[in-house]
Structure 1
Amino acid sequence: MPAPRTPRRRIDIDAGRAAVHAWRGSAREPDLHAPEAATARDAAPAIDRATLATAVRFTLEELASRAPGNSLEVRVPPFGATQCIEGPVHRRGTPPAVVEMTSEVWLALATGRLAWADAVAVGDVDASGERSDLSALLPLIAE
């Protein structure tokens, strides 16, 4: 089996890092499930949809570059999806392993504000398939 190729980046690295930084400033509460989280998020400056989309897409690209392959699809609707992790090649239909979550959960995982096991335990991550555990790859961007 040939080695998986690293996907080409579409998001400029500096623009992606800036978008993640802006998201961090808008989501100050590290525990998304604490009752005071809503108050902290209400007090934080709002992030615009384009910046949020850029942060999500950049971190998905980062995941794919660190774990190239096609055996797992990570979905963060409505902003993006990527295929990653070596294994059986997926060409059509639903891949053998799928992970799906909201943009807030994905960015919290990608930046280390939320642990994979905690997100799965409370049902914030819908993961199926044998290669769907991303805990060894997260966080992607340390705080």
Structure 2
Amino acid sequence: MATPKTPRRRIDSQAGRAAVRNWRASTREPDLHQPSAAIAQDAAPTVDRTTLATAVRFTLEELASRAPGQALEVRVPPFGATQCIEGPSHRRGTPPAVVEMSPVVWLGLVTGRVTWADAVAAGEVDASGERSDLSAHLPIEDL
């Protein structure tokens, strides 16, 4: 099998990390007495739409660079989607494995404020397909 190619970067690393930091600063710290998925939805970030979009797009690029492949499509509407994870790739139509969630849940997952298990259990993540479990890839360290 050929080595998966790394997608081209569109978001500057410094700008992306700054957007993630700004999002993190705009949300409440986790309350240990609440399920983590509820924390993400209750966080109500106060960052502007551009910062939110940059943080989402940058973290999707980070996931794709750290877990290259085309077996899974991760969708965070309305800001972006990426393909990642090694395995069978798709070229047209709906991919065999798809994960979709809101921007707030996605950023909660990548920053470690929300666990994969809690987000899935709370119904905040729509995941289908055999490679749709992202728990081994989240949170993304060094953001």
Is the structural similarity TM-score above 0.5?
A: yes
Equivalences for 1:1-143 in 2 at 5 Å?
1-30=1-30, 31-33=36-38, 38=42, 41=43, 46-141=46-141
- Cα deviation for residue 29 of structure 1 reads 3.6
Amino acid at match of 1:120: V
Contact kept, 8 Å, 1:112 with 1:142, in 2: the verdict is no
In the aligned structure 1, how far is the partner of 2:29 from the partner of 2:76? Answer: 20
- Cα deviation for residue 141 of structure 1 reads 3.5
Amino acid at match of 1:141: E
In the aligned structure 2, how far is the partner of 1:98 from the partner of 1:19? Answer: 25
- Cα deviation for residue 27 of structure 1 reads 1.2
Amino acid at match of 2:117: A
In the aligned structure 1, how far is the partner of 2:56 from the partner of 2:5? Answer: 21
TM-score, normalised to structure 2, is 0.90
Q: C-alpha offsets along residues 2-59 of structure 1, whole Å, 9 cap, x if unaligned?
A: 110111111000000000000001112424515xx74xx46x7x20000000000000
In the aligned structure 2, how far is the partner of 1:47 from the partner of 1:69? Answer: 31
RMSD in angstroms over aligned alpha carbons? 1.6
Amino acid at match of 1:123: G
Uncovered stretches (5+) of structure 1, i.e. residues with no partner: none
In the aligned structure 2, how far is the partner of 1:139 from the partner of 1:18? Answer: 17
Amino acid at match of 1:99: V
CA 1:32–1:85 in 2, change beyond 3 Å: closer, same or farther?
closer
In the aligned structure 2, how far is the partner of 1:105 from the partner of 1:63? Answer: 15
The equivalent residue for 2:33 is none
In the aligned structure 2, how far is the partner of 1:61 from the partner of 1:73? Answer: 12
Q: Give the aligned length.
A: 137
Uncovered stretches (5+) of structure 2, i.e. residues with no partner: 31-35
In the aligned structure 2, how far is the partner of 1:94 from the partner of 1:85? Answer: 16
Q: Aligned with 1:83: secondary structure?
A: strand
Hey, which bits of structure 1, 4+ residues long, moved more than 3 A? none
Contact kept, 8 Å, 1:111 with 1:142, in 2: the verdict is no
